[in-house]
Structure 1
């Protein structure tokens, strides 16, 4: 019983961390509106059931309810923040962790949070 309870606590914490990087933009539906598209915050329309990646490294999906977006960036944690620094590459939507004094050398990272 304790193992089951502990597993549920860990799962709840994991779901909370993951969902913290997602958001929903509800679709504005008016009576008799059977639109088969979603309009994002930039005014761009996307077909219903389509997926795309934003310039802010988010994966988005257009559904009948609206647009669901989640970050696709894995952030490094548990590394030597005194000796090392994280550098973000917007083109690949990823971080590298390198030594501050010698950026050619990478640093060990203890984990990544998505």
Structure 2
């Protein structure tokens, strides 16, 4: 039993270390969705947000998704993770399309980043 409590303290200390070092903890996987095509619907590729993409793997759409396009279906997963734990009084979330991720910045000074405790996909 003594070894078990030591392991718990070690895990708790390591988590405290991660938080103290400012390392963001990411929860879960990326957000994913699929669309099944009707016969003949996707004869030239897949339509995503008004843009036609060719069949095959799409590394990055304009809306920051990685997709797989076929005549049968379209499957996409986000390339970004949404911040959920940060100082909501002092900070705001802004989507950075260039980096395909959310920046959390100070409301009064958007050039300054805020610390994010966790993100979800």
TM-score band w.r.t. shorter chain = 0.5 to 0.7
Q: CA deviation at 1:76?
A: 1.1
Provide Cα deviations, 1:1-35, integer angstroms capped at 9, x if missing partner.
xxxxxxxxxxxxx7xx647x3221213336xxxx7
Q: Secondary structure at the match of 1:82?
A: coil
Q: Which residue of 2 aligns with 1:24?
A: 34
Runs of at least 5 residues in structure 1 that lack an aligned partner in the other structure: 1-13
| TM-score, normalisation: structure 2 | 0.60
Contact 1:27–1:38 (8 Å) recurs in 2? no
Query: Given the alignment, which residue of 82, 87, 93 partners 2:89?
Result: 82
- Structure 1 segments of 4 or more deviating over 6 A? none
Task: Give 1:61 deviation, angstroms.
Answer: 0.5
Aligned residues: 92
TM-score, normalised to structure 1's length? 0.63
Q: CA deviation at 1:38?
A: 3.5
Structure 2: distance between partners of 1:91 and 1:73: 11
CA contact (8 A) 2:83 2:120 kept: yes
Query: Which one has more relative contact order, counting CA pairs under 8 Å at least 6 apart?
Result: 2
Q: 1:104 offset after TM fit, Å? A: 3.1
Residue number in structure 1 paired with 2:112: 105
SS in 2 for 1:50: strand
C-alpha RMSD of matched pairs (Å): 2.6
CA distance in 2, matches of 1:68, 1:59: 8
